[in-house]
Chain A
């Protein structure tokens, strides 16, 4: 006789007979988890402060330009390469600070072990984390560039004509975005694979990029001095013509030392893409250090900046993979 009404039954353990995905599903799940970790989703408000703040910083220059284009009548269309110039350092900062979050806690908490006993390899793990970070940075970069494009269209008298003349800029800035994001993703992740402290990883990356900039600038800098000839005749001094003498500390090697500024390695490629470097005029007054470096690099054979970029991406990339392959668990 049933005496119970609304009784709760413990169904006991149920086996799972449904579908099972393989490696792809494993990598995809890790990718989603990585994406959420980067942006601090599913965590408290404090975890979201840094990623949101850093994202705003990356988009800020383009956003400001867009606002200017709408309110300042004399504003001029700007080159997409110039905006990459403006945000390349900000992107590096973003990556240096956020990327360690993706690898270090997993290792410190021991979660990496749990991933590596699931149906994926260490290569899959690294690939999922790397591409999740790449995805986020690429989206940020492209948002910034699309804002520039909108601003340029607003500034053009004939937006449709502007688009027809400059449509090639769109595939260019997308490709340039890939070039810069692959760079700023790989190096900070590789560094994060070798330390247990997020702050050390961030500091190391930032320091490496900050220190090499003035070193490179110094070694490839142009020194100019005015020399004036004075003539003494009958006890009177008369001033002759002044002659400007210019040269570089490292002479003809100066163009090689521009490569030392590792943070600019992707910019050399991006400038090549937009053909902007040819426009830089060394003799022109008021050229800034960046333009000068860009111009100097064009004196190198084309393959050199490309090979340098490839080295700076593949080297750390291989280190990252090697570290996870040979990790003691």
Chain B
């Protein structure tokens, strides 16, 4: 994992653009993904799936380039031997046992038959489907199918997996189990992950880094810790001279916003609290309330999407 961090990024795009006819699914996206778990966060139709399909080489970019481990997967399919993909939609055969299906998928990814069977059995054990592995997939519950989908993405021991909405269609319990599996895959198995979700909770609890994407463009990206810090919001209520306060805050590099009766400021460091005090003094505004409101990713997301 550390090698990847030092060398070329696992996933990289430059000016990546994808049009479907007149619809622009992705526009001029530059991103770099290194090791660990990266979350692609955005509402439905933001371009998350399109981005993943471009990195897998399932789609040809309209413009720009998508590279994975230094290769363009659309042109060189061999790189997919070390890539895994869990699609959002159904992708499992009805009349095959999970064991048979995983072994087949491992072989299609280049693993010889005798190793494929062992890998299939191990992988099913890791996702918690040991007992049921000789049953037809048709008989599985949604949660079990979702585990088989994850297992098939990992069965050939990829360097990186792309998980498209892995919690889609699961109940809260199933969601937490799936996210725990994703965390184990990243932390214990040492497999790098790109995970897409429209749920901030999923991304916040699972990922190291977040790329917020909307309308086919990246609007924010950074470490999860930065995101939660950055969203440490302060509410300032003043009785008068609000305009002057806004100007004074802006002068100090803060970006105040009006929200209802309050002035809202996003803080990046504690030093900036001093800046708020100084601005209040300079504006000679009468302070009524100064309160932190520790935000969550949802704030960022709402703000970005807003």
Contact = CB atoms under 8 A, between A and B. Distances in A.
Interface stretch (A17-25, A66-74, A222-230, A293-301): A17-25
B273 to A, nearest CB: 45
Interface in B29-72: 53, 56-59
B89 A119 contact: no
B107 A117 contact: no
Contacts of A29: 104, 107-108
A110 interface: yes
B126 to A, nearest CB: 6
Interface in B81-132: 81, 83, 85, 87, 89-96, 100, 104-105, 107-112, 115, 119, 122, 126
A111 interface: yes
Interface centre among A18, A22, A106, A118 (most CB of B within 10 A): A118
B91 A111 contact: yes
A235 interface: no
B189 interface: yes
B81 A20 contact: yes
B85 A105 contact: no
A152 B9 CA distance: 69
B116 to A, nearest CB: 8
B152 interface: yes
Interface residues of A, number: 35
B188 to A, nearest CB: 6
Interface string A33-59: 100000000111001000000000000
Given A16-B156, A117-B83, A111 B112 contact: no
B95 to A, nearest CB: 5
A21 B105 contact: no
Nearest to A116: B58
B78 interface: yes
A118 B80 contact: yes
Interface residues of B, number: 40
A22 B156 CA distance: 12
A153 interface: no
Interface centre among B87, B108, B126, B190 (most CB of A within 10 A): B108
B157 interface: yes
A111 B87 CA distance: 10
B77 interface: yes
A115 interface: yes
Interface of B: 53, 56-59, 77-81, 83, 85, 87, 89-96, 100, 104-105, 107-112, 115, 119, 122, 126, 152, 156-157, 188-190
Interface of A: 12-16, 18-23, 25-26, 29-30, 33, 42-44, 47, 105-106, 109-111, 113-121, 329
Given A114-B105, A117-B85, A118-B109, 17 more contacts: A13-B122, A20-B81, A21-B111, A22-B110, A26-B109, A42-B96, A43-B95, A105-B94, A106-B93, A109-B90, A109-B93, A110-B91, A110-B92, A113-B85, A119-B80, A119-B109, A121-B77
